[in-house]
Structure 1
Amino acid sequence: MNFKNKDLCKIRTITTFLSLTDDKSEWKKQILKASSFCSHLSARFLEHGYAVQSVRIVTNPFGEYLNTESLEGAKEDLSYLSLLLASSDLSGIRVRFAIGEARTQTEITLLPELVKEFGDLCNVCVNVGIDAAGILNNHLIRSSAEAVSEISKITPRGEGNFNFTVNFNCDPLIPYFPAGYHKKEIGDCFVIGLETPDLLVTVLKDFNRKAETSDHNDLFKEYFQVMSEALQYHITMINEVVKQFETNKEFTFSGFDSSAAPSKNCSSMVEVYEQMGVEYFGASGTVEASSLLTKVFKSITGVNLVGFSGLMLALTEDTGLARGTVDSNYDIRSLLTYSAVCGIGLDTVPIPGDTSIEKISALMRDTGTMAFRLNKPLTVRLFPVPGLKAGDRTVFESDDLCNCAVLDVP
C-alpha cells in the first residue's frame, strides 16, 4: 500500500534533552555525548529507510549554567558552546541548539542580543503561568513582548523571532524549536518528531479516488481511519528501530511528538483540508477538519506521546498557509479560533512592524487564556516585520520561511 512508503514519513528531528551546570569543563563531554548519540541513531534510521532532517539539543534553563550577570558573560559562554557544537561530528546533518527557558524578566532582557548574535544556536522560550486566581503573569508577558519587538528591530527583516517563542501550559520535552525546554530532574532523554504532511495527503487522495460514498459522516470516519492507520504504521516501525538501538542508556527514550510538523519542503497542510472537502483553509468546515486532525494525532497507541502531538499550523513554514494570507482566506483571529480545537497557537505569524507592545501583549494574553482555559499547550511566535504594514508582502531570506502577507492585529 502507498502509505507504507517510507519516503512519505520523514524524521524531522531527533531531539536530545540534557542538563548543563556552570562547570564549563563538563560541557564538551555532554555536547559530544549528545552529538554522538544523534549521529549513530540517525545512521540506524537511514539503514531502515527513514531520513533524518535535523538533530537538536535542548538544555535546562540557561540561567542555571550561563553567566547571566552580564550580557558579555552570557555571550562569552555561548561562544564557547558554539565552538563545541561546530566541532561535533554529525555527518552533515543540521544541528540546532536550544538554551532552555528564560525564567525571569532580567533573563528575558538578554535575549534580543543573544538571538541576534547566535541565531539558530540560541533558540529560547519563556513559560508563562497563572496564579491561584487563574490570572496570567503579565509581567513576563510584557517583558516577552518587549523582547519580540526588539528582536524585530535588530535582526535582518525581523527574522530573529524565528528563534523565540512564548509558551502557555506547555510541558517539557517538546522536540520542536523554540518551544522545547528541559528540567534537569527529568534526566537525559530524547524525543522523535516527524514530518508527515506528504503521508496524510497521499492516503487521503488514495481514499478519495476509491470512495464509494458521499455521506459526510461516513467520509469523516474513513478519513480518520486511513490517516490514523498510516501514521500508526510508521510510528510503530520507527519505534521498533529505537527499541533495537537502545542499548546505550545514556539517553532514555521519552516518546514521539505525533504532530505532522509541516515545512516549506513538503505538502502543505492546506492540501489535507482540501482533500477532506474544505474549499480552502479558512472556509466553513475548517474548525471541524482541524478537530478531526487533532484526533488523528492523539489516536496513536503503543508509544508515549509527548510535546504537542496535535495539529501544527505554522504560518510561514507552510506554503499553502502562506499563500492563504495573500488570498485573504483567514486572519489572526481565525488562527486563534482554530487553536480552540488544535494547536499550536499563533506560530510564525508576521504582523506590522509598528505593532505596539500593548497589542503584542494582548495577543499573548488571549492565547494564554485559551491554553489554560482549555487545558492545552499553545505558543505565540510573532514576527513584527520592520517597515511593513498589514497586507504587505514579506521578503524573508531564511531557508525555513515562506513569504506571505502581513496580518493585521486588530
Structure 2
Amino acid sequence: MKQLVFLAIALLPFQMLAQTGASSAATTGNPKIRAITGFVRLDRSQFEKQVADTLTVLRKVKSEFEAAGYQVESVRITTQPLGELVKGASEEEALAFLARFDALSVKEDFIPNVGPAMMHDSDDPATMHLLERALSKLPTIEASSIIADESGIHWKTIHRTAELVKYVAEHSPHAQGTFNFTATAMLKPLGPFYPGSFHTGAGKQFAIGIEGAGLVADVFTRDKGNAETATTDLTAALTKHARVAESIGNKVAAETGWAYVGFDPTPAPLGEVSIATAIEDFTGAKFGSSGTLTAARIITAAVKAVPVKQIGYSGLMVPVMEDKVMAQRWAENDFNVDSLLAYSAVCGTGLDTIPLPGDVSLEQMERMYSDVASLALKWNKPLSARLQPVPGKKAGDVTEYQDPYLFNTTIHAVP
C-alpha cells in the first residue's frame, strides 16, 4: 500500500534508496516505466467496480512490461474533472467520496488523480475550496487547475490557484499537500504524468510515460559536446523503448477494447536518475551554467523526433526537488526561477517543485503563475507550475520535507 511503502522508504537514508534504484536499473538494463495511466469516467455509485475493471487492464500492461524486462514504478487512474466527478453532491458528501476513493487507492496500490478543479474562469470556484480540503487531508489524491489554454490566460483561475496553494501549504502535514497539485498551461488531455494529467471524454483509455533521464545521461556522456550526434543518438535510444511501449499498448488495447492513446517520451528524472547530471555530462559544467539551455533544446528535439504516437508534455522535465543533483544546484544558487523560465522557451518544463518562503504573498505567486501561462500561450507548448510554500521558513532556510521523492534544498527569495 502506498502509505505504508512511503513510510518504510522514508526511514531509509536517501543514499540507500538511490543505491537500490540504481541496482534495479542496472539489473534490467532498461529505464523504468514511470507511469501506466488509465482514464475513466467514474460513477460514484459504482466506482469500486470501475476501478477494479480499470486495474485489470493497467495491471495487464504492467505485466507485459515486466515480461519484457522493465520495472514499472506506478499504476495510475485519472478521473473526469473534479467538478464533474462530484456534481450534485454537497461539499461534505463530495469530501467523503474523495476519502473513500483515496483509501481505495492505498488498498489497491494505484495513484488517483481527480483532474482540474477549474478548467475555465467561468467554472465554479467552490470546487477549488473542496480541493483545498481534500489535498490538506488526503495523502494520495492528486489534482490540478488549468491556467491557460487555446482561449487564452485564465486570470481568475490563477488567483484562485494561488489561494489554494497557500491554504494547502498551511493546512497539510509538513506542507506536503502542495506536492500533489500543479497548475498547467496549454497541456492537452490524456497525458500520463501527474499531477497535471486529465481527460474530458468517456474514458477507457490508457497512456504510458517513461523515467528516461538515465538514457539521456548515457548518451550525453558518450556524445559530450557534440549536439548533432547527441540528438541523433538520444532519439534512437528513446525510440527503442517507445517502440516497446507502443507494441505493448496496442496489444493490450486489442485484447481489452480499451484505447491506447500514446506514449510520453519525456525523460522524467527521479532521485539519482538525474536529468541535471545528464546535462552536466554534456556541458562539462554545473546545471545552470552556460550551455544548459542548449542541452535542454537537444533533449526536447530528440523527444519530438521519436516516431511514435506522442501524448502529454513530450519535452523535458526539470523538477527541482525530485532530482537529487538539481536540488543541490538550487541550494548552491546555480540557477533560479528566471533560469527555469528561460529553459522553458526551448523545452517543456515550467516551474516544478519550487520551494517558496512561507510568507510568499498571493500576488507573488500569481505573478509566477502568470509568467508560466504567458510563456506557454506565446509558444503554444505545455508548461506547468508546482509551487510549494513552506510555512515558518524564510529565504535561506532549508526545507524539511519527509517524503522519499523530495530532496530538501534551500529556499530562495521571491523577487
Normalised to the residue count of structure 2, the TM-score between the two structures is 0.88
Show the counterpart of 1:124: 143
Secondary structure of 2:36's aligned partner: strand
CA contact under 8 A between 1:6 and 1:50: conserved in structure 2? yes
Letter in 1 for 2:295: A
Among 376, 387, 392, the alignment partner of 2:397 is 392
Aligned to 1:50: 70
The offset of 1:36, in angstroms, is 1.2
**Deviating more after overlay: 138-147 vs 94-103:** 94-103
Q: Does 1:232 align with 2:239?
A: yes
Q: Secondary structure at the match of 1:349?
A: strand
**Residue 278 of structure 1: CA displacement?**
4.3
Q: CA deviation at 1:79?
A: 2.5
User: 1:5 and 1:238, CA in 2 relative to 1: closer, same or farther beyond 3 A?
Assistant: farther
SS in structure 1 at match of 2:135 = helix
**Cα separation, 2, equivalents of 1:222 and 1:58:** 38
Q: SS state of the match for residue 246, structure 1?
A: helix
**Residue type of the partner of 2:176?**
E
**1:176–1:68: structure 2 CA closer, same or farther, 3 Å change rule?**
farther
Alpha-carbon separation, structure 2, partners of 1:131 and 1:238: 30
- For normalisation by structure 1, the TM-score amounts to 0.89
Matched, 1:11 2:59: no
The partner residue of 2:302 within 296, 300, 321 is 296
Q: Is 1:141 aligned to residue 158 of structure 2?
A: yes
8 Å CA contact 2:169–2:390 kept in 1: the answer is yes
- Quick check: 1:4–1:234 contact (8 Å CA) kept in 2? no
Q: Is 1:97 matched with 2:116?
A: no
Which SS does the other structure have where 1:397 is aligned?
coil
Confirm or deny that 1:34 pairs with 2:34. Answer: no
Instruction: Give the partner amino acid of 1:252.
Output: A
2:215 maps to 199
Percent identity (aligned):
31
Query: Aligned partner of 1:333: which letter?
Result: D
Identify the residue that residue 78 of structure 1 maps to in structure 2: 98
Kindly indicate whether the alpha-carbon contact (under 8 Å) linking 1:336 and 1:346 is maintained by their aligned counterparts in 2.
yes
Q: CA deviation at 1:182?
A: 0.9
Letter of the 2:45 counterpart: S
| 2:135 alignment counterpart | 115
Alpha-carbon distance change, 130 to 180 in structure 1, aligned in 2, over 3 angstroms: closer
1:275 corresponds, among 252, 277, 281, to 281
Q: For 1:333 and 1:157, how far apart are their aligned partners in 2?
A: 27
What displacement does 1:25 show?
2.8
8 Å Cα contact 1:45/1:52 also seen in 2: yes
Deviates more, 1:266-275 or 1:379-388: 266-275
Match of 2:379 in 1: 374
- Output one character per residue of 1:60-101: Cα deviation in whole Å (capped at 9) or x when no partner: 11221225753311111113323443554xxxxx41000111
Q: How far apart, in 1, do the equivalents of 2:126 and 2:383 lie?
A: 24
Aligned partners of 1:144, 1:275: CA distance in 2, in Å?
37
SS of residue matched to 1:188: strand
- In structure 2, runs of 5+ residues without a counterpart are 1-24
CA deviation map 1:101-129 (0-9, x unaligned): 11231111222210122121x21111123
Instruction: Say if 1:79 and 1:157 are closer, same or farther in 2 by CA, change over 3 A.
Output: closer
* Partner of residue 170, structure 2: 153
Which residue is 1:61 aligned to?
81
1:160-239 pair list within 5 angstroms: 160-185=177-202, 187-207=203-223, 219-239=226-246
Inter-partner Cα distance in structure 2 for 1:62 and 1:239: 30
Q: In structure 2, what is the equivalent of residue 212 of structure 1?
A: none
CA distance in structure 1 between the aligned counterparts of 2:150 and 2:219, rounded to whole angstroms: 45
**Which structure 1 residue ranges, 5 or more long, are not aligned?**
89-93, 209-215
Deviation at 1:287, TM superposition (A): 1.2
Which digits, 9 at most, give the CA deviation of each residue in 1:109-162, with x for residues without a partner?
222210122121x21111123686x5x221111111000000010112311101
